[in-house]
Amino acid sequence: MSEREWERAKVAPAARGDDCVRGRAGGAGASGGTARSVRARDRADLGHDQATAMLADLRRTLLDRFGTSDEARLDDALLGSLRTGPPRTSERPGSERRAAGALVVPVRFHVVHSGSSGRLSTAAVQRQIGTLNAAYGGRLGGSDTHVRFRLDSLDRTDNPSWFHNPQRNEGPMKRRLRKGGRGTLNLYTAAVGSDVLGFSTFPQWYRRDPRLDGVIVDFRSLPYGSYAPFNHGFTAVHEIGHWLGLMHTFEGGCVSPGDGVADTPYEAEPAQGCPQGRDSCPQRGRDPIHNFMDYAHDACMRGFTAGQGRRIRAVWAAYRSRKPGRHRVDLGTAAPGAARSVGAAR
């Protein structure tokens, strides 16, 4: 067994009771949740106008902070700053950390349960963190996004109302439990549901209400959970992708700008099961069914693209870095107005 195969075996259990090619019936998910089902409408399905507006806002924010919205040119400088080593001891706890060329995101993990139901063990939480690091580190088959996750705290809250209906109780639950600032990932587990497995906020929404920032996933979707074929821990990988600024690979269908990432091919609709070889749009490239930002079964998912990693790092610099304006970079060539826009033609 190769090192990569070993890493996949450690964090991704074989799906129980289903396999990669079987479809999953979709249901009408509750309003406001990010669903892993084709029928459910969720807050991360943005629509063309909203997706375009969010990409434009990212471009304006990058121009304001760095003097360019060219993510490729900016990324060299950002990655260089990540290789400078750990933070100074004077930096406040909860700020973004740098180690071994990666952005390390502090995680505040909140287990919401009802008695023994949903009361996850520490080992289960640690397996989920390990899965996040394997997925975002490119160890499951995709590109390394240069993002890592560190478990900073774990708490458990016995609240049956929050546990059984986290969407309806999202506001009070998050306002009570959330810790840290814009660069701290607050990850909650509860009984979200079988049609809607999780939901997330986008970085652009932080300024609207910081207390609602975070990700909620169904506790049965964690590694070795009972929600086969979605029990490899990839629901959290998917939802955290939104928290880091990624859109669905099928965003906007075959219509530009799609998800605004150049190396994720256009996709007419979400993948169900694992539709190998599907090519649903006339643009170049087969559907990215193995991408974590699609809806395929967990056993079908493998990784992120290099462009998605670049987008994550650009979005982090724009919206989640601790001190706005401190990262302005002199790229030394073109004027800001000459920068290539985010979400260019693919």
Are the beta carbons of 155 and 111 closer than 8 angstroms?
yes
Query: Going by DSSP bridges, is the β-strand pair 147-158/102-113 parallel, antiparallel, or unpaired?
Result: parallel
User: How far lies 268's CA from each of 38, 100, 253, in Å?
Assistant: 12, 38, 4
Contacts of 19 (CB under 8 A, 6+ apart): 229, 297, 299
Per DSSP, 291 falls in state B
Instruction: Give the length of the chain.
Output: 346
Rounded distance, CA 143 to CA 165, Å? 35
Tokens 């669905």, located at residue: 248
Token readout for 218 is 């169904």
User: How far lies 310's CA from each of 32, 88, 110, 147, in Å?
Assistant: 28, 25, 29, 10
Tokens 């009570």, located at residue: 176
Contacts of 317 (CB under 8 A, 6+ apart): 62, 65, 66, 74, 78, 327
Helix (H) or strand (E) holding 161: helix 160-164
Query: 239, 251, 267, 269: which one is catalytic?
Result: 239
Task: Count CA atoms closer than 13 A to 188's CA, side-chain side.
Answer: 33
Q: Which residues lie across from 125 on neighbouring strands?
A: none
Token readout for 150 is 């560190």
Token readout for 244 is 């880091």
Residue 7: active-site member: no
Closest CA to 130 of 12, 296, 218, 293: 12
Q: What share of the chain is helix, strand, coil (3-state, %, to 5)?
A: 30, 15, 55
Q: Give the residue numbers marked as catalytic.
A: 239
